[in-house]
């Protein structure tokens, strides 16, 4: 039986060291780490690798459940895959061990709170953006395309695809400029 560790932080400026040390202390044989958002499973290759590699009787350890997933759906998907393989999930800082009924119950509760926290953070962010827009402080991002440059290149006979490649922008943005629309900002 092997104990695999998984560490994750959301951005490249954050450190994985504290999690990795905690996982070593928890007896993890192999630790996989990545610096990606926990709000989605796509692109999390280290997590996928560790799930694929684990066998019946093994366990995957994280420091906290929010390192694994930020939504109930993603957490349920991961736990279902692990259970189907006979692999348990353990959290070092929370009473989670899916080998026990109490551990499974606490896991589900923590998943609900992680999803709630993400939703609240998103709401606060949207409120802040709306307030900044109302006060004229927030204008959105600057357009990524120079309409005059697009028109000049088009006047020299360049097509939309070539212009998009030259300016490193999407063709749709080039077409919007060529058709007289302003480029949109999110």
Active site (catalytic) residues: 10
- State the residue for tokens 């080039």: 174
- Residue 60 DSSP code: E
Give the count of alpha carbons within 13 A of 167, CB side only. Answer: 26
How far is residue 168's CA from residue 86's CA, in Å, rounded to a whole number?
A: 48
- Which H or E run contains 6? strand 3-9
How far is residue 133's CA from residue 180's CA, in Å, rounded to a whole number?
A: 26
Cα–Cα separations (whole angstroms), residue 185 to 10, 97, 145, 175: 25, 46, 10, 15
How many other C-beta atoms can be found within 10 angstroms of the C-beta atom of residue 137? 9
User: How far is residue 114 CA from its own chain's centroid?
Assistant: 13
């Amino acid at each position: 039986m092997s104990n695999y560790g998984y560490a994750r932080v959301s951005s490249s400026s954050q450190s994985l060291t504290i999690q990795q040390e905690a996982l070593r202390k928890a007896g993890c044989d192999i630790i996989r780490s990545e610096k990606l958002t926990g709000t989605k499973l796509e692109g999390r290759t280290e997590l996928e690798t560790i799930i694929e590699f684990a066998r019946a009787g093994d366990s995957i350890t994280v420091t906290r459940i929010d390192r694994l997933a930020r939504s109930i759906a993603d957490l349920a998907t991961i736990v279902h895959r692990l259970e189907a393989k006979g692999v348990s999930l353990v959290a070092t800082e929370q009473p989670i061990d899916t080998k026990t009924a109490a551990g499974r119950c606490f896991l589900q509760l923590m998943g609900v709170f992680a999803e709630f926290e993400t939703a609240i953070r998103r709401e606060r962010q949207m409120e802040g953006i709306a307030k900044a827009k109302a006060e004229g402080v927030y204008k959105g991002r600057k357009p990524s395309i120079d309409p005059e440059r697009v028109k000049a290149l088009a006047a020299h006979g360049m097509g939309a695809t070539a212009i998009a490649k030259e300016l490193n922008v999407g063709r749709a943005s080039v077409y919007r400029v060529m058709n007289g629309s302003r480029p949109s900002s999110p």
